[in-house]
Amino acid sequence: MEDQILSNVQNVLNRYSDIRNKILVEADQVVNRFNTLGISAEFEKYLNQHLKFAETVLEKFKDKGLSRFDLFRLAGFTASEENFSNAVAAILDPNRPHQLGKKPLQSVLKKILERNQDQISILSAVSDSKTIQVRRELNLGSTIPDILVESDKFIIFIENKIRHGKETLNSNSHKQTDRQWKELERRGKSLGVPDNCKLGIFLTPEGKLPANNNFVRLSVSEFVEAIDDLLKTESTEYNNTIKAFLQFYKLS
């Protein structure tokens, strides 16, 4: 049953991609034709008016979540920061019954290492940790990280944003990652975690840069790729469920 569902979802996604690509090709052809023929000033004025109207319509579609045919939303799965954070935390939690243990967390860290080699110590710390805790929205007083992953050997804060999401400011105009890094260092010190085993991850669809330079950026596509690569070599009864979620997460 899961295989059939995944296959149906993939077919829909492929069809959406094909239609989108066809529209882009046709649009390029129209633009090239006008560039070849030339556009009069009067027609350009007329065209701009209609383009503005089209942009307004498209914005309304985006606001209503109608920018594409999305079976997940039709089925009631809401693309919210909270829902995605719950799922990401579950995937990274070695205590969850996904039968993958620490491997999802290790795969994501390896993906980060492709761009940030100075984070290699934390990968070893994860491997050496006997007990790892993953918590959602733990109130630490000055800040509440979306996801907290820690042991007595390392500590990770993950700030997760949905598309177009921005870091919030507190009353003192301090951005989230600034507040979180300060708390991450404080908590890490109280746990006796070495400085090279403290990590802040800014997870966004666009791969945005965090306000605090100590955080590393991670795009949703990179997260999905890391877990997808893992599932190619690790076979569990939940692989198809995880893959279906990853497709939804990547496109949202």
Closest CA to 193 of 113, 114, 129: 129
- % of the chain with per-residue pLDDT over 70: 66
**Identity of the amino acid at 181:** W
Asked if residue 128 has pLDDT above 60, the reply is: yes
Q: Residues 139-187: pLDDT tens digits? A: 888 888 999 999 999 999 999 988 777 766 655 557 888 889 999 999 9
Banded pLDDT at 93 (limits 50, 70, 90): very high
Residues sharing a CB contact under 8 Å with residue 127, sequence separation 6 or more, in sequence order: 102, 106
Q: Which of 63-67, 123-127, 206-210 has the lowest mean pLDDT?
A: 63-67
Closest CA to 197 of 120, 103, 108, 105: 120
Q: Which of 9-18, 120-129, 217-226 has the lowest mean pLDDT?
A: 9-18
Banded pLDDT at 5 (limits 50, 70, 90): low
* Whether 198 contacts 183, CB under 8 Å: no
Q: Residues 221-236: pLDDT tens digits? A: 999 999 999 999 988 8
Mean pLDDT of the chain: 79
Residues in the chain: 252
Question: By CB neighbour count within 10 A (0-12 exposed, 13-18 middle, 19+ buried), where does 161 fall?
Answer: buried
**Mean local confidence (pLDDT), 224-250:** 89
Structural tokens at position 84: 């995605």
| H, E, C per residue of 128-166 | HCCCCEEEECCCCCCCCCCEEEECCCCEEEEEECCCCCC
- Supply angle C-alpha 216, 107, 247, rounded to 5: 90
pLDDT of residue 172: 59
Higher pLDDT among residues 32 and 220, named by residue = 220
Q: Cα 185 from chain centroid?
A: 24
198-204, strands of its sheet edge to edge: 133-136, 147-150, 155-160, 198-204, 215-219
